[in-house]
Each structure stands twice: as C-alpha cells, then as structure tokens.
C-alpha cells in the first residue's frame, strides 16, 4: 500500500463521515472505527477498512484492549494520521451526575485518545505523522448540564498541548474545537426543532452553524506538510460565536 493512511474514530457520526470522505478524496487509505454497526454499504462510503470498536471498553477491559490491539497489529501496517473524533455527550446537572456516566465520558473523550495515541505512536513516528483531537467549544464556553462533557473536552485540549510539548518533533499534535455543527447529534439535542435551530443559527455572527466538511478540511490541513510548523494548537471553529457578548 503506497497511500498515506489515516485512522478515524467515530467514523459513522456526522463529523466522522465527513472526515472519512475528505481523507479518501485526498488519496488516503482510511481505517474507520465506531461503536455502531454500520448499515449495509454505509462503512464503504467513508473508509477502506471498518473495525467495530468500543472505546469505553478499550479503556476499562484489558482483555478487550489486547484483542483490539492484536487486530490493529494485523490490519494496520503503517499510519500517518490519527484523528480522535469519537465522543459521548451524557448530560445532567452537577448533583445528578452518575459516577458511571462521568467515567464513561472521561474514558471515551479523554483516556481513549491517550491510549490510542500511545499505541499508534511508533507507527506515527515512523511517518512523521500527526494526531488531531476533536475537542469542542465547550472546553471554553459551556452551558448547564454539560459538566462532564465540558470537563472532558477541556482536558482533551490540555492533553493536546502537553503531548505536543512532550513528543517534540516526533509527532505533531493539534486540536480543533468546533461550535455548533450540522450533525444528527446536534439536531437530537434540539429535538429537530427547526425554529430552535434558527435561533441558534442567528446567534452566530456568520448567521449559520458549521458543516461537518468544514471540520474535516481543517483536520486535513493540520495533517499536511503545509502545517508542519503547527503543533500544540487548538483551533476554534465557531462562526464567531465565542466573540459575542450576550448582556440582555
């Protein structure tokens, strides 16, 4: 295989699919991981090899972790890009947060990216590769009931910066913190209420929310040679909303 190779977690989600398609269009061989079993033909549209993968179990079950690492060793001979995109969003107020939900959030959104980065580090280093972590605007600005999610994404940005410093010139590490992106997860959060989504769109200075392919194109750039001097950065992709002062 002469192509560059990319591994994308959460490849069947809205942003994940855009990532898979974008990298394949640029000639990458894409490995896709997701906890969801794809519909017939779904995975083939976004990746070359699909691997069913439970990131929470990877963090908590040693036997499962070893099994998955053996699979990786058999099917992934080289790797240029790791995109830690998979995430869970378990919402509740502080006093009601279940320990199991807190731990799952941290495992999927933070510990999992660390463990995958550790495992694939030798392959990435061989190719002078790059890691991109998909964080969230919630690492900077959040709202009620997002305690676990916002904490995990804040920590993911911290992990990004500290890994970039620690790994030096071995592998570049960056993060992207998107605001509202047009995905099924976002729509579910608004119960597919178009009027509520219109309000959200108008809160952004650009008067719209983002598209998954905009995230994917920025990830692709950060993994390119043109971004060779960028490491330890966190890019806010938010349509200007983090610059808006709401005082009424």
Map residue 173 onto helix, strand or coil: strand
Round to whole Å and give the CA distance between 209 and 111: 29
131 strand-pairing partners: 82, 173
Round to whole Å and give the CA distance between 122 and 133: 18
Map residue 92 onto helix, strand or coil: strand
Round to whole Å and give the CA distance between 113 and 99: 20
29 is catalytic: no
Map residue 225 onto helix, strand or coil: helix
* Token pair for 98: 């279940």
Cα dist from 70 to 29, 33, 125, whole Å: 20, 15, 20
100-134 burial: b if 16+ Cβ within 10 Å, else e: eebebbbbbbbbbbbbbbebbbebbeeeebbbbbb
Exactly one of 28, 29, 119, 149 is catalytic; name it: 149
Give catalytic residues, as residue numbers. 149
């Amino acid at each position: 295989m002469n192509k560059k190779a990319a591994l994308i977690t959460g490849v069947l989600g809205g942003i994940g699919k855009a990532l898979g398609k974008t990298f394949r269009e640029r000639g990458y061989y894409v490995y896709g991981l997701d906890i969801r079993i794809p519909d017939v033909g779904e995975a083939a549209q976004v990746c070359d090899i699909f691997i069913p993968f439970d990131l929470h179990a990877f963090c908590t079950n040693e036997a499962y972790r070893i099994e998955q690492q053996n699979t990786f060793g058999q099917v992934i001979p080289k790797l240029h890009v790791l995109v830690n995109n998979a995430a869970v969003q378990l919402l509740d107020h502080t006093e009601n947060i279940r320990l199991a939900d807190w731990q799952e959030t941290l495992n999927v959104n933070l510990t999992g990216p660390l463990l995958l980065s550790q495992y694939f580090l030798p392959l990435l280093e061989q190719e002078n590769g790059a890691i991109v972590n998909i964080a969230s605007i919630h690492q900077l600005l959040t709202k009620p009931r997002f305690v676990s999610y916002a904490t995990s994404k804040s920590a993911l940005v911290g992990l990004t910066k500290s890994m970039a410093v620690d790994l030096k010139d071995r592998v570049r590490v960056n993060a992207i913190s998107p605001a509202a992106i047009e995905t099924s997860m976002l729509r579910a959060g608004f119960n597919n209420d178009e009027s509520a989504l219109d309000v959200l769109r108008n809160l952004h200075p650009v008067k719209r929310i983002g598209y998954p392919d905009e995230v994917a194109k920025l990830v692709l750039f950060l993994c390119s040679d043109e971004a060779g001097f960028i490491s330890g950065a966190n890019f806010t992709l938010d349509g200007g909303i983090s610059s808006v002062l709401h005082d009424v």
